[in-house]
Structure 1
Amino acid sequence: MATTSEPSEETIEQLQEDLNDYKEYVGQQQARMNQRIATLEEENERLTERIAELEAQIDPDPTSKEYDTMSRGERVRKLRETLIDEAQRRHSGKAQMTYNDVLLLFDNHPSDGYAYKLMKLAGEEDGFEYTDSNGKVIRVNAAAVKDETLFHAVNNPTTEEAV
């Protein structure tokens, strides 16, 4: 019969010491992982907030064009469409924009002279009027506008514009 020898007390003590060292090692690794998780969670929160900030700055209309890529005619048309849209929201059917309104419409891109040029050009269409009295403004009387495509563009936005 084979006899199994009992481990010596010295061996048991060594095994217990090894086990304690391993437990300490695992605890240190767990602490490092917890710290890394906390760091990643903070970074994730920071990046999520930054994405939200950037998304708020982006033009939500995918069909819109950057000011620099628009032709003068497209800029004049955008000005007229904006006036028509505003006029249709009012009981009077009339609207006007000042120089500052035009700058706001184009995110402060046009120079002073060019903004006034766009206003003058927009005023050349039936129903639109550029006036220099009491401040420079572009006005529209929707009832006098003969270009039906302006109303169509405002009243029937494309699928992308409606989104």
Structure 2
Amino acid sequence: MKPILNLIILILLPPAIAEASVCEDLKSVTNQASDGFSSWKGSYDSDMEEYTALQRLPGASECVIDGDEEFPSYTCRWILGSENEMLTSYRSLVSQVTNCTNLFSRKPIIRAMPYTSRTTRYFSYKNEETTSIEERSVEFRIKIRSKSMTNLRNQENKNLVSITIERK
């Protein structure tokens, strides 16, 4: 299978080359949105209500397809070493995706949603942001997220960047 997206490209290649590669790779993913990513569904996890994605993005810690049949989504997550690396990767990916002319025929609508720090029963979150990128004339939306979290039980820290393609 063709590799789709590798965040290392974002760091190592000159911006023009990296941008072209990310745009081509995302086009491959968005082409699957119309049929709900059905050809990419692997085993079903009933606890999480999601499928393991058969098409995994290179370097991703995990890729899954949401079990919602009406509005399916495809998500890949990368665990990064530091908050700085996470924020740099997140901002770079947002910048590149918003300039993908092969995905959007017009300038896409971009909504940035920063979140304040919060604590749940098991996790403490900070530096959490989501950017939603869409255009009215296409059948998908792209969400890019950053999340820095600490497991309150074992004090383990994780810095995540994820990209989700949702069918509208």
More helix by share: 1
Q: TM-score, normalised by structure 2?
A: 0.29
More strand by share: 2
Larger Rg over CA atoms: 1
